[in-house]
């Protein structure tokens, strides 16, 4: 099918389809389709990004045979997603290490898991429910005798924080939600990831985040720290058992690690969201970074480059995922204070 692309619609940040030039002429099927899409885009997870003239080009057919195949592919993915929810809940929340003090029966775990799945669909977030379950499990496994808070750096609309707050309620810990509440900061010229984003992207106001957590999480477990990380985190004088750093920018990741790592307890975890980028994960393997800042070997990071294997098929690399429509990276990556990821192995200078 060939035509002039005039409009584009994104769903969950994924290019979801094109409307062709008939859209411009009133009364044509294209115009009706445009009207429909604008209606859909104004609610739910859809984001309408307006007119994007692109000139003549080959357009992926949305109708006809190819369209049917696409719809079928999507239907199968949704079916797979739905059918695997109980399996994922069962597998990801099963552990012989869950601390008995939390009295987590299977029923409580399933109710918790279903609330996390629901939050994923009610609140705007790009994160899957599965990494959330992994973080929750790590919290359920930690002894209540280990004191410390949970920190989320980078909250957007509070989609992940709402679910993390539910886990915090179960384990009786505070969740400290840190964000500018005005989106991403101005670009740092040394940041290799800054060009992908604009200052102000991913903006969620404090009021919005509070309202979302009140509705879908446990606001009583939360404290909020508003401001740029370089100004706020140096004053965060708390022991930390788990930090979720979801900040997109390399410069922000650096600020978070420099300030949070010294406060992380020995059994503590750091989770990140940008697991798919090996450059981003390099910080956790850099001998020089860890020697100069913390006088230790790097901790490494489990899931770097591909994400934790959480039941989806993802072969990578990230930039080619559109060519593999049935693949889906549902991941996260984490490190633990006591882990080692020394990345310059040579037999004669290998160290324990």
Ligand X SMILES: C[S@@+](CC[C@H](N)C(=O)[O-])C[C@H]1O[C@@H](n2cnc3c(N)ncnc32)[C@H](O)[C@@H]1O
User: Contact 174/222 with Cβ under 8 angstroms?
Assistant: yes
By DSSP bridging, strand 175-179 and strand 222-226 are: parallel
Match 């993802």 to its residue by tokens.
314
Work out whether 212 is an interface residue with ligand X (CB under 6 A).
no
Contact 127, 158 (CB under 8 A): no
> 104 Cβ partners below 8 Å, 6+ apart?
98, 140, 170
| Shortest spacing between CB 270 and ligand X, in angstroms | 14
Residue 47 contacts ligand X per CB under 6 A: no
User: Is residue 217 within the footprint of ligand X (CB under 6 A)?
Assistant: no
Nearest distance, CB of residue 50 and ligand X, angstroms: 22
Site for ligand X in 125-184 (CB under 6 A): 125, 127, 154-156, 159-160, 179-180, 183-184
- The distance of closest approach from Cβ of residue 122 to ligand X in the complex, given in angstroms and rounded to an integer, is 12
Helix (H, G, I), strand (E, B) or coil at 308: coil
Crossing angle of the two packed helices 106-122 and 129-141, in degrees rounded to 10: 140
Task: Report d(CA 322, CA 345) in Å as an integer.
Answer: 35
Q: Does 206 sit near ligand X (CB under 6 A)?
A: no
Residue 288 Cβ vs ligand X, minimum distance, rounded to whole Å: 23
Find the binding residues for ligand X in span 236-255 (CB under 6 A): 246-249, 252
Interface with ligand X includes 290 (CB under 6 A)?
A: no
- Applying the rule CB under 6 A, the residues between 93 and 132 that interact with ligand X are 125, 127
204 close to 179: Cβ distance less than 8 angstroms = yes
When asked if residue 259 is in the footprint of ligand X (CB under 6 A), the reply is: no
- Residue of the chain from 18, 112, 129, 202 that contacts ligand X (CB under 6 A): 202
Alpha-carbon distance 16 to 245, whole Å? 28
Q: Output the smallest distance, CB 25 to ligand X, in A.
A: 39
Cα–Cα distance for residue pair 131/129, rounded to 1 Å: 6
218 sits near ligand X (criterion: CB under 6 A): no
Q: Applying CB under 6 A, which residues contact ligand X? A: 125, 127, 154-156, 159-160, 179-180, 183-185, 202, 204, 228-229, 246-249, 252
């Amino acid at each position: 099918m060939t035509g002039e692309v005039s409009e584009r619609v994104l769903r969950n940040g994924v290019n979801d389809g094109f409307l062709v030039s008939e859209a411009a002429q009133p009364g044509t099927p294209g115009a009706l389709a445009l009207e429909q899409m604008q209606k859909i885009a104004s609610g739910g997870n859809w984001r309408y990004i307006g007119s994007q003239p692109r000139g003549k080009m080959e357009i992926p057919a949305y109708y006809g045979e190819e369209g049917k195949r696409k719809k079928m592919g999507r239907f199968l993915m949704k079916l797979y997603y739905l059918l695997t929810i109980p399996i994922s809940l069962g597998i990801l929340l099963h552990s012989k290490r869950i601390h008995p003090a939390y009295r987590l029966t299977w029923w409580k775990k399933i109710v918790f898991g279903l609330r996390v799945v629901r939050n994923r669909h009610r609140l705007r977030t790009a994160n899957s429910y599965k990494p959330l379950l992994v973080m929750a499990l790590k919290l359920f496994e930690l002894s209540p005798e280990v004191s410390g808070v949970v920190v989320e750096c980078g909250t957007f609309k509070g989609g992940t924080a709402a679910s993390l707050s539910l886990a915090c309620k179960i384990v009786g810990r505070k969740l400290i939600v840190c964000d500018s509440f005005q989106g991403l900061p101005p670009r740092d010229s040394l940041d290799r990831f800054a060009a992908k984003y604009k200052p102000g992207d991913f903006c969620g106001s404090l009021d919005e985040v509070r309202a979302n957590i009140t509705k879908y999480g446990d606001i009583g477990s939360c404290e909020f720290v508003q401001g740029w990380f370089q100004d706020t985190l140096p004053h965060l004088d708390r022991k930390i058992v788990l930090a979720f750093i979801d900040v997109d920018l390399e410069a922000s990741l650096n600020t978070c690690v420099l300030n949070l790592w010294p406060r992380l307890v020995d059994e503590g975890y750091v989770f990140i969201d940008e697991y798919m980028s090996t450059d981003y994960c390099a910080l956790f393997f850099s001998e020089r970074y860890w020697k100069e800042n913390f006088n230790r070997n790097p901790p490494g990071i489990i899931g770097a480059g591909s994400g934790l294997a959480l039941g989806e098929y993802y072969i990578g690399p990230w930039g080619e995922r559109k060519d593999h429509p049935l693949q889906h990276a549902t991941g996260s990556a984490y490190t633990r204070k006591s882990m080692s990821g020394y990345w310059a192995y040579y037999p004669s200078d290998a160290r324990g």
